[in-house]
Structures are given as structure tokens and as C-alpha cells.
Structure 1
Amino acid sequence: MSQVKTIQDENLPNWLPQLTAQGGPRFLQIADALQAAVAEGSLKPGERLPPQRRLAAQLDVDLTTVTRAYDEARRRNLLEGRGARGTYVAAPKVELTSILDLSMNTPPPPDGADFGDMLKQGLSQVLMRADSDLLMTYHLAGGSESDRQAGAKWLEPMFERLDSRQLVVCPGAQAAIAALILALTEPGDVILAEPMNYPGLRAAASQFGRRLITVEADKHGMVPGMLEAACRKHKPKLVYLNPTLQNPTAITMPERRRRELASIAKRCKLRIVEDDPYWLLADAPPPPIATLAPEQVYYISTLSKCLTPGLRVAFVLIRDPQERERFLVALRSFALMAAPLTAALATQWIFDGSADALMAGVRKEARLRHRIARDILAGRYSGAGDGLHVWLELPAYWNSLQLARAADSEGIAVTPAEAFAAGSGSANAIRICLGSIKDRGRLQAGLQRLSHLLARRPESFSAAVV
């Protein structure tokens, strides 16, 4: 049915929308209408829904479409079956754990994504095409050739064509960062980074006895003149940059700033670790720094931040073969390899298109959640509308640690700026993650609760004594 279907049946439930060819899968249109009706109160808990066959006939769709719609609504905890008595609107689900987690930076689950089904199909294809013995043994060369080819395909939007031999498959970005530090620096060496940066970098640098020194940043990222001055003063071996939707500030460094930093790195013979987990989620991101200074940059792209944390697979671009071998030696000292079965699943999804479809769904859901955050947080929201997190600067009457504690007492988990600050200074802000709460309604509730909290002054709180 390519034409718009107008609902004319006067006996049709008034909560259903007009089903259109442009509105996406029809079962999701029906499920979304159910969800909206429950949220608005036009469908109330305990109310009986039309039998599936009758609704299918009224909508002029097949029974399977309505069955899928009801199944999807059950998955969202909107409906409950009562055997022969039919299907009813479910009572609101009581959450035994009241914490609304806005602290974990994970991709939001896309509408209609069935990870169980994806896993079954993906793994069945892997087992059909791969030697099971190879999936259960050691892979010491940084991933199989097919895994590296999948990495080259995954990185095509950033680099167009890559030689797969220049890629290493790692068990996540944290392992890649740690191995690069071990391979490219010595104890006591200086690593430069922005003042607000990824805590995993600081943990690895500290564990390995390297000195992390910060370089001033502005609204466009690390300041070029300050980087050059730091190079003269500290003789650093590495600079760590997260230039796209930076964690935690959500700043995307413009191309001009990237070119300036790349030029300084060339002049100072400074190597750059470009940790770029969010590039594929960004709206029209500039080219990676690795395309501007190919010999200076080690590029990391992880699947955990744009697909799902369960895929602990990262691709690392290291062009020099000797440095690639040093990296592998360092990696094997603590991680040995990416799990072959996980890497094979990632490879299958990349080649069969599942990864692209999932990422498109994550991108769409993330943008929708940013719109929700913008509406609720109003003038306090300063995001760009993409990525997984928002950096929220606080009113002067709150400080970030105080706000985080108050939020926790309200059942909301957020991350204060202090968790990301290297050195003595810190911003007065919190990071809010939009993907960690699976249900969109609960996310909305958490943001509303946080907005109300921000509007109140700390002195209005009193602790209960029990």
C-alpha cells in the first residue's frame, strides 16, 4: 500500500493515528500510538484493547502487523495478556530500583532493534562461514584478515580507502590507549591533554608512571599556541585528543583548529593519539586529524560507543609497521587480543549491513533524546543536538559535586566535572548521558527531576535523619 491510508471507520479506536507509507513500519506506528495514548491518559490501565483480528480488519492491514504491534507494546510494558479474556493496558511498572542513571555514556537502544534476534542471526552466519576451531583459539596478529578488512570498511566514511594491514583489532578503546602509551613512551615521559578529559587516559598514564600535563582549551578545543608552548617547555612524547563530541564537554573541534594542531605536531615531532569514538554519530563532522597528519597520528575508533558496549572491539590505525609491532607487543602484555568470537560478530555485522542499520538507529534515537533534553532543560541546554551526552554548566548557586550529591539523593546519577579534571582546576558542570536509560519515558522523567533540582537552591534541602 503506497498511498496514504485514511482511517474512516467510525468504530475504530480514537487513539489510533492515520497510517501512512511515510511513517515507518506500520506495526511501530500502531505501537507508538498506543504508547502516546497511555502517556496522555486516553488509554487507562485495565482498559481492554480490540482483538487483533478485528483491529487488523478495521485498519486494512494483515494480522501479523497487529500482532507485531501488540508484541512491541508488551516489550515496552504497555500491555498485558489475560488469556482468553484478551489484551489489556498494563498498570504502570513499579521500578524497584529508583536510580535514573544519567552517568553512563552508552548508545541508546534504537526503536525496533531486537538484539536477541540480531545476535541469533549474526552468530548463526558466523558459525556457518567460519571455522569454529579458529574462533576458539589465539589470534596474535591484531585480528584476522577479515576482521581488519571489516575495520577498513567501517572507517571508509573517515578515510575512504585504507590498507587493512595498517589496522589492529583491539578489545576496546581503553586497551588501545593503554597499549599506545606503553609502546610510544617511557616511564616519566610527558603526555599532554586538555584540562577536561577521559578518565581512562589518566588512569593508564598514572598506572604506567607517565606524567599527564594539561594544555588550555577554549570553545574550539585545545589552544594551538598553548600546545606549542607546552611542547617547548615539557618535551612531550604524546598528545591525546578527542576532537569530535569530546568527552565530557561535547565540543567538536572545527577543521581549522585541527589543521593548526596537526601543523604544530609536525613541527614539534609530536605524536597524536586521536581517540574518535563519536565521529560517526556527529552531524557533518570535520575530517579526522589523522587525515591531516597521517604520519603523526594514531587513530582509534571503537564500536562500543556507536553500536553497543557488548561489542568490545576497536580499530586502531597505525601506519608504520615497526610501531604497529611495538603496539602489538604492548597490547599482549595485558590484553593479548580481542575475543575472536566477538570480533567475528562485529565483522559479520559490518559486512552484512547490520552495523550500519544499527548505527543509523542509534543516531536517530540520540537526536530525538537531545530534543527531549533541549525541551526540558530549556536555557541550560547547550548541546549541538548530536552524540550521546550533554555538558551542562551549572548556575552559580550550585557546584558540581554538591549537585551530584543532591541528584543522588533524588534518585538520579550524574557525573560531576571533577571526574574528568586533570590538575587542580575544574569546571562547574556535570555530564548528562542520554543513552544509558533504555526507556525514553524514564529518561524524560529523570531530566525533568534534574531540571526541578537545578531550579532550587542548595539551602532548600534538608537531610533526613533515620
Structure 2
Amino acid sequence: MSWVRPLAAGSGARYQQIATQIVTAVEDGVLRPGDRLPPQRELARALGVDLTTVTRAYSEVRQKGLLEAQGAGGTYVAYSGSDAGGAIDLGMNIPPLLNSAEFSHMLAQGSGATQAAASAMDLMSYHVGAGANRHRAAGAKWLQPMIGSTDIERIVVCPGAQTAIAALILARSLAGDAIACDELTYPGFLAAARVLQRSAVGVKSDEFGMDPVDLERVCKQHRPALLYLNPTIQNPTALTLSTERRTALLRVAAQFALPVIEDDPYWLLAERPPSTMFSLAANTSSTPVYYVSTLSKCIAPGLRTAYLVVPAGEPLSPVLDALRSLALMPTPWMTEMASTWIESGAAVQWLAQVKVELRHRQAIAAEILPGNIQADPHGLHLWLQLPRHIDFYRLTQTALQQGLSVTDSESFSTGSFSPVALRVSLGGALDRNRLTQGLTRLAELLKGDHARRVSSVV
């Protein structure tokens, strides 16, 4: 207990002072990974406070990912959150808190419930097709806020959104076809289009998102087989299309009989999301919209569980054939666990915690980062527009040398447009302290000479 100091009057709430002492001791190396903290009652007696004050302090530090509670076994300094000198991930869009004790508890409970609910044969055998009715029903429950009540016969359980997108490209287009998309779009879609020998054709945007007038131009010029959209907290620009803009795009799609892939991983995170394009199209019968929603951005990427909704009147069999050729089936264990979390309400409760954490992280980023930021208050990422003198290559290489991963706009470009901007992801940092360190380091790089362009005179 060498790290323990007397509490000072007027220096903030007592539980916060205790939490600060623990964090400082971990950062200074006085407390090391695997060290056991004193029992809460013992620390309460030493500091002259009640037990609930210490309990609250320990809980506060656990939420930062620095402590792990092992029940009667005590509380220990965590290994995952204690490497203050390690790399900080600002490049991958993953939900925060995956290293927390709360998520570990949820994972343990979900694993137990999964094993109790299904036989070994169910969990380890082949399951080819659209998914078991129970799993499709869980999907319908998860999708209800986004698209309303859905016939489970229209839902296909997929091993991740990436597989669903690739399957739709295979099912609804041919090699050599064009697919219309934003000029800046999800790299996974670009990779799928490239590997499957489709051409991703960028549609220009204005301050409100994809421009319907330019979509009409692209349709006339390239005759695309599909339109791919990520309309809510768009990756990478973080723009959310208004209902009016969605409706206008659907009108153009209907004019050219253009099916739409609505890739919508962030709808449940958005502050005030408009109606999905799937719902708007269903109400107007304008054009088929295939809806894709994944648990990767709201719960955890490792679940590899996504739901694909095939619009009424469109056949399932081409999509199922394409899915089978790509991945055969989702992992039964993960699908069962996702269904268990949805049915029990654990998934919705965890989503609420993720949104609260992301609101804090977005506020931290807005305070630290320079420049023009575009973001949703609960988004996993933000779009940081930079001065034109920035040299992306120097910036990313210098950032990597300093333990930061960042993603520049070229990673999202169809080739026709690449602004000077970064997508900054906020969920990968282990806790808010590490995020603050990473963002501060990035801000210093942007203000210094590390990212300035170097001109060669020949």
C-alpha cells in the first residue's frame, strides 16, 4: 500500500481521489500488471472512509480497463490496460470497452448460456441456409428499431457484413459491371468489388451527402448494376443522409431500376437517425433495397454476426448460393451467443454503455484535435479535414513510429477524389486516458513539421 496517500479536503470527491491514486500508481509503475490491490475494507479503514467510497473508486478504475475483479479472489491490475507505452489504435472502427471487466463478465455469461441452450451437435455441426428460425427471430428483434416488424423468412443470418456485401455483389451483378458508390466509401466494399472484378464508380457529394444529380449522371454514363450506400454516420465522412436526400436518391434509383445495398452498421449509434432507405423504399415500392446490419460496430467484431434483409418480391436463393460459395455458413457458436444476448436484453444494455462511452470519447476528440471535425455525438469515428500542406505519407509513417495507427482519405477513395483528411477512430484505445494520449500525440504531429510536404526541385 505504498501508493496510498491521505485524502485531502477540497480536492474533489473522495472516491475520485482514490481512483486517481490507483491510476497514477499504475502509470508510474508502482502498481504493476498482476499486482493485487488491498481488500476494499482494508483500504477503507486505512483512509477513514466508508466501504462504498472504495467500491465506487475501484469500479471507476475498472471502467478504464486498468483493473480486473476476480470475485472472492480480489482485484488485480489488468494486463490489457496497463501498457501505457504501447501502440494506440486510432485506425480501426471497433466498439470501445472490449477490454473491460464488464464485457468479460458479459462474455462469460453468454458463453455459459450458449452452451446450456444448445447441444454440442448444434454448436459444432454444419448449418447451411438462411439460419435457424430462432436466430432469424433474434435478428428481427435487433432490426426492429431500424426497419420495423420484419418477416423472419426475409432475414438471412450472415458471417459478418463483409460477407453479406460480397454475396450481394455476386448475386446482383456480373464481372465487369459498374457499381455506383460514394467517391469516398468503405474500403471493404472497394476490396470486394475489386476482387470480384466489378468497377466501383464514385458519385460526387455535396455538404448533405451523395448528390442525386450526379447519381443520375453516373447511371446514364455507366449503367451500374447496383448502388452501394452507407447512409448513416457514413464511413469515412461521418455524414448522415437526411430523409429528403435518401428519398431523392431512391427516386433516381427507381428511375434506372437500380437495386440498392444499404450497409447500415451505425444506425443504432446515431444521435437522431432518419428512417432507413429500406423502410422508405418499402413504403413507396420504388426500388429493391437490401438491408445489411452487423453487430460488429455495436457489440464486438469477433461475433461475426450480421443480418441481411432481402426485400419483398426478391428471391433469396441467389443470395444464399453466393453466401455458400463465400463462407458456407456463420459460426454456430457466435450466432447462438448473439441470439442469446439479443433475447436476454444484454445486447441492448451493452449498446447503451457503448453509446455513453462514445459520447465521452467524441467530446475528448473535439477538445484536442485541431481543424474541421465532422462527427456524430455517438459515432465510432470522426472525419478530420486538414490543411492542404499535409503530406499523408510522412504523417502516417511518423505516427506509426510514435505508436499511432491512423487512416488517411486515400484508403477510402474510388480514385476520382481524395481530400486532405483523416478518419480518426475512437473505439480502439483501451480507455479514455489512452485515447487522450493518442489524440494529443496526433494533434502535436499535425501542428509540427512532421506532416509538411517536401518538394524536390530538379
Q: TM-score, normalised by structure 1?
A: 0.84
Q: CA deviation at 1:412?
A: 1.5
Which residue of 2 is the match for residue 201 of structure 1?
189
Q: CA deviation at 1:13?
A: 6.1
* 1:259 aligned counterpart, secondary structure: helix
Question: CA 1:377–1:127 in structure 2 vs 1: closer, same or farther (change >3 Å)?
Answer: same
Question: CA 1:56–1:218 in structure 2 vs 1: closer, same or farther (change >3 Å)?
Answer: same
**Which stretch of structure 1 is more off in the superposition, 178-187 or 57-66?**
57-66
- Partner Cα distance (2:251, 2:76) in 1: 65
Which residue of 2 is the match for residue 286 of structure 1?
274
- Partner Cα distance (1:73, 1:243) in 2: 32
- Partner Cα distance (1:67, 1:245) in 2: 35
Which residue of 2 is the match for residue 4 of structure 1?
none
Which residue of 1 is the match for residue 3 of structure 2?
none
CA offsets 1:266-321 (integer angstroms, 9 cap, x no match): 22111000000000011011111111113510000000111111110000010246
Contact 2:374/2:383 (8 A) holds in 1: yes
- Partner Cα distance (1:296, 1:70) in 2: 48
Question: CA 1:15–1:444 in structure 2 vs 1: closer, same or farther (change >3 Å)?
Answer: farther
Which residue of the other structure, out of 366, 376, 384, is the alignment partner of 2:376? 384
Question: CA 1:44–1:115 in structure 2 vs 1: closer, same or farther (change >3 Å)?
Answer: closer
* 1:373 aligned counterpart, secondary structure: helix
Which amino acid is 1:256 matched to?
Answer: E
* 1:436 aligned counterpart, secondary structure: coil
Contact 2:186/2:236 (8 A) holds in 1: yes
Question: What is the identity percentage for the equivalent residue pairs of Structure 1 and Structure 2?
Answer: 40
Contact 1:266/1:293 (8 A) holds in 2: no
- Partner Cα distance (2:82, 2:356) in 1: 26
Which amino acid is 1:452 matched to?
Answer: E
Structure 1 spans left out of the alignment, 5+ residues:
1-10, 20-29
Residue-pair matches, total: 434
Question: CA 1:238–1:71 in structure 2 vs 1: closer, same or farther (change >3 Å)?
Answer: closer
Contact 1:224/1:260 (8 A) holds in 2: yes
Which residue of 2 is the match for residue 72 of structure 1?
62
| 1:129 is aligned to 2:117 | yes
Question: CA 1:144–1:250 in structure 2 vs 1: closer, same or farther (change >3 Å)?
Answer: same
| 1:238 is aligned to 2:226 | yes
Question: CA 1:273–1:15 in structure 2 vs 1: closer, same or farther (change >3 Å)?
Answer: farther
* 1:361 aligned counterpart, secondary structure: helix
Task: Give the alignment's Cα RMSD to 1 decimal.
Answer: 3.4
| 1:190 is aligned to 2:178 | yes
Q: CA deviation at 1:379?
A: 4.5
Which residue of the other structure, out of 305, 308, 312, is the alignment partner of 2:304? 312
Which residue of the other structure, out of 341, 344, 351, is the alignment partner of 1:352? 344
Which residue of 2 is the match for residue 265 of structure 1?
253
* 1:72 aligned counterpart, secondary structure: helix
Q: TM-score, normalised by structure 2?
A: 0.85
Which residue of 2 is the match for residue 436 of structure 1?
428
- Partner Cα distance (2:451, 2:428) in 1: 30
Contact 1:244/1:253 (8 A) holds in 2: yes
Which residue of 1 is the match for residue 167 of structure 2?
179
Which residue of the other structure, out of 101, 104, 120, is the alignment partner of 2:92? 104
Contact 1:397/1:457 (8 A) holds in 2: no
Question: CA 1:159–1:35 in structure 2 vs 1: closer, same or farther (change >3 Å)?
Answer: same
* 1:351 aligned counterpart, secondary structure: helix
Structure 2 spans left out of the alignment, 5+ residues:
1-5
Question: CA 1:261–1:67 in structure 2 vs 1: closer, same or farther (change >3 Å)?
Answer: closer
**Which stretch of structure 1 is more off in the superposition, 328-337 or 98-107?**
98-107
| 1:332 is aligned to 2:320 | no
CA offsets 1:60-96 (integer angstroms, 9 cap, x no match): 44699479649838951599xxx9xx999x9x95556
Which residue of the other structure, out of 17, 20, 40, is the alignment partner of 1:36? 20
